[in-house]
Structure 1
Amino acid sequence: MKFGIATFITDQGIRPVPLGKALEERAFDSLFIAEHSHIPVDRRSPYPGGGELPEIYYRTLDPFVALSAISAVTERLLLATGIALIPQRDPIITAKEVASLDVISDGRVIFGIGIGWNREEMRNHGADPSTRGRLTDERLRAIRELWTKEKAEFHGEFVDFDPVYSWPKPVQRPHPPIYVGGGEGAFPRVVQLGDAWLANSVPPDELGPKIERLRALAGRDVPVTVYAVPGDPEQVKGYIALGVERLLFYLPTMPERETLEELDRLAEVAAPFR
């Protein structure tokens, strides 16, 4: 079993560099960080977790800036978006950001993606929430073309460009793994465009049947990483029984001292299962 961390890096919590060092020192294999470009003041989209939207959503650092800083002080830690909001991202710029991070980290990037839930946020980026699924799929296909073709070209409903040169290419071949976040509605995207499913906080008793349905649809053994898992040994045992590839413990956004204490606790939870 692999163990990583899922968190929000903000201007109020631990800085990226000490966080990255601490994770590698404690043998966590990966860091998945959240993204929100901004939060509209007039927001009608309900928070999926219920209640008021936590302050961390308003204050996230740019994921590629934060992960680049972490890449410079780590050697083994996998650097992941968890998740990058594709309806809000230009595909040409995003392809270059991911590839650049893969180059400077010597091939340690995981591209975690999703369609997002905050409709007002995506509208500010010019995306129509009603078509964000199709938009995401097209942009992912365009990004893969930019990563893998010397002269990349794409013509679709939402993305359209004639042949272009786009460098650097990623270190990983054919490209960094794409982890698709979302529920069962995302399963076709996992099958067609993804390398793994990033399941969001699904407890073990509910996850097993979902994995079976996904693998039946895909016709292959799709790897599963579970996002934002509590540091509970009994739940860890349940996930191990399902054969998931990786668990991402949820790390609250806190100052450095409190963060290191929590990482020590989570490392102790993981130690017997490594």
Structure 2
Amino acid sequence: MHIAGSVFLTEYSIGPAQLATAMEERGYESLFLPEHTHIPVSRLTPYPGGGEMPSKYAHTYDPFVALTAAAMVTTTLRLATGISLIAERDPITTAKVVASLDFISGGRTLLGVGAGWNREEMRHHGTDPRHRWAVLRERVQAMKAMWTHEEAEYHGDYVDFDASWSWPKPAQPGGPKILLGGNGPGILNRVVDYADSWMPISGPTLATNVSELGRLAELGGRSDIGVTVVHTGPPEPRAFDSYAQLGVDRVVLLLPTACETETLKKLDEWSAYAAEFTA
């Protein structure tokens, strides 16, 4: 079981290169970065965490730019999005960005994706929130086509392009693993349909859902679906042991958006878990 870290990096936090170097030195397996292109000032969509939305959501770096900076100063750290809002991105451009990062980093990219929650943000990108899951599915499938075919084409309801050339191809055969984030209804079927791994937030139904995912995977002829859990609290040996017993592949710890000194202190506090559990 691998131990990873996730953080909203901003212009007032530790930098991506410093963070990536520190995480690799301390034995963390991967760095996950979230994505929000912008936050509409006028917003009716409630913040999922309750209360006022933290300012870091409007300040976070583009994840692929920050992960490229991280790639340049590391050799083993996996470079992950958690999550990238593919329903708000052009799939052809994003396929090129992801393939470039994977090629430059020597195949260290993990692509965490999700449909998002901020309806106003989606609409600014031309995505109808009612169709965001269908848009996400087609864009993921279209990107896979770009990564795996010399002459790629895709014809769907939301993505439509004729045979095209695009290089580089990702260093990982078939492209980076797709980690689908979400805890809502239908998510397990979506994982079996077009993802390589499920990335839920930890909660009381995790064990039941992991079991159900296994059942659905078997029905769908899938034996290779992983589970990456986003752990919302401080690290606890009991929780980590339960994840390991469930067969979880990776646990993502949530780091604070903070200066270099505070961030390194938190990494040091948690590094024993990275050393103990990361395989």
TM-score normalised by the chain length of structure 2: 0.95
Q: What is the Cα deviation at residue 240 of structure 1?
A: 1.7
Match of 1:227 in 2: 230
Contact residue 229 and residue 247 of structure 1 kept, 8 A: no
Equivalent of 1:243, from 244, 247, 258? 247
Equivalent of 2:259, from 229, 244, 255? 255
Task: Give the direction of change, closer, same or farther, for the CA distance of 1:20–1:109 in structure 2 (3 Å limit).
Answer: same
Q: What is the Cα deviation at residue 236 of structure 1?
A: 1.4
Distance 1:233 1:151 in 2: 49
Q: What is the Cα deviation at residue 234 of structure 1?
A: 2.2
Distance 1:190 1:159 in 2: 20
User: 1:210-230 CA distances to partner (integer Å, 9 max, x unpaired)?
Assistant: 001111111135210111443
User: 1:51-105 CA distances to partner (integer Å, 9 max, x unpaired)?
Assistant: 1111111111000100000000000000000000011000000000000000110
Match of 1:211 in 2: 210
Map 1:196-207; keep pairs closer than 5 Å: 196-200=197-201, 202-203=202-203, 205-207=204-206
SS at match of 1:259: helix
Task: Give the direction of change, closer, same or farther, for the CA distance of 1:229–1:243 in structure 2 (3 Å limit).
Answer: farther
SS at match of 2:116: coil
* 1:264 is aligned to 2:263: no
> Percent identity among equivalent residues?
49
Distance 1:95 1:228 in 2: 29
Amino acid at match of 2:200: A
Distance 1:58 1:116 in 2: 15
Superposition RMSD in Å: 1.2
Distance 2:12 2:187 in 1: 32
Map 1:1-274; keep pairs closer than 5 Å: 1-183=1-183, 184-200=185-201, 202-203=202-203, 205-219=204-218, 220=223, 222-230=225-233, 231-274=235-278
Aligned residues, how many? 272
SS at match of 1:83: strand
Distance 1:48 1:252 in 2: 18
User: 1:153-202 CA distances to partner (integer Å, 9 max, x unpaired)?
Assistant: 111111111111111100101111001111142222211111111112x1
Amino acid at match of 2:24: E
Amino acid at match of 2:34: A
* Deviation beyond 2 Å, 4+ runs, structure 1: 268-274
Where does the alignment leave 5 or more consecutive residues of structure 2 unmatched? Answer: none
Distance 2:9 2:70 in 1: 12
Distance 2:139 2:13 in 1: 32
Q: What is the Cα deviation at residue 269 of structure 1?
A: 3.5
Q: What is the Cα deviation at residue 132 of structure 1?
A: 0.6
Where does the alignment leave 5 or more consecutive residues of structure 1 unmatched? Answer: none
Distance 2:275 2:205 in 1: 25
TM-score normalised by the chain length of structure 1: 0.96
